[in-house]
Amino acid sequence: MAYDLTITGPARRTVFEIKGDPSALGSDLLPPWPDRPCRLTRQDDRAFLWLGAHRWLLIAPPDHEDGLDAALSAVHHPDASVVLLSDSLAFFTLSGRDADVAMSIACPLDLHPGAFGPDACAQTDGFGVRALVLRQGDGWLLAVEQAYAPYIAAQLAQIV
Amino acid sequence: MLLIECPFCGPRAEIEFSYGGPAATRRPDDPAQVSDADWVDWLTVPENRAGPVPERWCHAKGCGAWLTVLRDTRTHDILDVRHGA
């Protein structure tokens, strides 16, 4: 069976991991805080994800990296740790009418819009490895550790 | 398949978690003062009773938190989940 599915990637994005208290970094650099765990906010092509009790991810386009790195590096604070993870994660985008079906094969979460809305995000299982899942437009963004990118690409290719 | 209610992430499938062993017995404060027999008992003879048992689980593919899960070994019902040990 052929699915109406377009897959792009693996691609690189700007990713910063923030641990501790992100308010220590000031409000100019980050989108507003998500109001609940496993939720994200978006601002200026940047997404701010709350993924753990004291862990956030800032995801931005690749060309934002130098500017963000300089700005975040300039804000040293003992209550917040900022680590550049852009080289650690590989991003795949899934779009098309059957993108939801493909994601239901990849991951065990209930991804129905009623349970996983546009502002939801999750670290979960994707084809057996740790994966980051969030909606993007009418499709999905799936990120895994860089080393697993060829494996994920092969799994997605099997679906198509 | 167990469905474990992570306090941070909500209900998640068992495959997102790693089992971390029984949580009932406390590690001896000073292993050098424990007899070999007691040390082996602590290390390799976990309690295995029928009924609710506290276990450690790590939400390895999710938020990364260590949880203490009270699981009924007769029914696999998850009776309680809390952060930490």
Domains of chain A: 11-84 (3.30.70.1520), 88-159 (3.30.1360.120)
DSSP 8-state code for residue B50: S
pLDDT of residue A1: 64
Other C-beta atoms lying within 10 Å of the C-beta of residue A56:
22
CB-based contacts of B36, cutoff 8 Å, min separation 6: none
Between CA B34 and CA A15 the distance in angstroms is 48
Dump pLDDT digits (tens) for B17-27: 999 988 867 78
For residue A89 the two structure tokens come to: 């994660």
Choose the mutation target among B61, B66, B82 for the interface with A, i.e. most A CBs under 10 Å: B61
Domains present along chain B, CATH in parentheses: 3-83 (3.30.2270.10)
Question: Which band of pLDDT confidence, cut at 50, 70 and 90, is reported for residue A157?
Answer: very high
List helix spans (H) across chain A.
65-74, 99-106, 149-159
pLDDT at position B85, please? 67
Residues of chain B positioned with their CB less than 8 A from the CB of A122: 9, 62
C-alpha dihedral sign at B30, B32, B34, B40: positive
Give the tens place of pLDDT for each residue, A71-110: 888 777 777 889 999 999 999 999 999 999 999 999 999 9
User: Cα A75–A79–A82 angle (5° rounding)?
Assistant: 55
- Search chain B and give the residue with CA nearest A54: B63
A28, pLDDT greater than 80:
no
**8 Å CB contact of B16 and A124:** yes
**A vs B: CB pairs below 8 A:** 41
CA distance linking residue A111 with residue A57, whole number of Å: 21
Searching chain B, which residue's CA lies closest to the CA of residue A52? B63
Respond yes or no on whether the N-terminal peptide bond of residue A10 is cis (omega within 30° of 0).
Answer: yes
Who's near B73: CB < 8 A, 6+ residues apart?
Answer: B48, B49, B50, B51, B52, B53
pLDDT tens by residue, B57-80: 999 999 999 999 999 999 999 999
Distance from CA of B65 to the nearest CA of A (A): 8
Could you tell me if residue A16 is left (phi over 0), alpha (psi between -120 and 50 degrees) or otherwise beta?
beta
Contact across the interface for B15 and A37, Cβ inside 8 Å: no
Using the 8-state DSSP alphabet, how is residue B55 labeled? E
pLDDT at residue A112 greater than cutoff 80: yes
Written as six digits, the tokens of B16 are 């997102």
Q: Quick one: average pLDDT of A53-81?
A: 88
Q: Which of B8, B15, B66, B82 to mutate to test the interface with A (most CBs of A within 10 A)?
A: B8
Please indicate whether, in this complex, the C-beta atoms of B65 and A52 are within 8 angstroms of each other. yes
Which secondary structure element, helix H or strand E, spans residue B63, and what is its range? none
Would an 8 Å CB–CB cutoff place B43 in contact with chain A?
Answer: no
**Nearest residue to A124 via CA among A139, A147, A108, A111:** A108
CA–CA min distance A123, chain B (Å): 5
Question: Chain B: nearest CA to A60, how far in angstroms?
Answer: 21
Q: Look at A122 and B64 and tell me if their CB atoms are within 8 Å.
A: no
A34 contacts A52 by C-beta, under 8 angstroms: no
Place of tokens 């980051």: A132
Run of H or E residues at B65: none
Under a CB-based contact definition with an 8 Å cutoff, are residues B18 and B60 in contact? yes
Q: What is the pLDDT of residue A83?
A: 92
Using an 8 Å CB-CB cutoff, list chain B residues near A109: 12
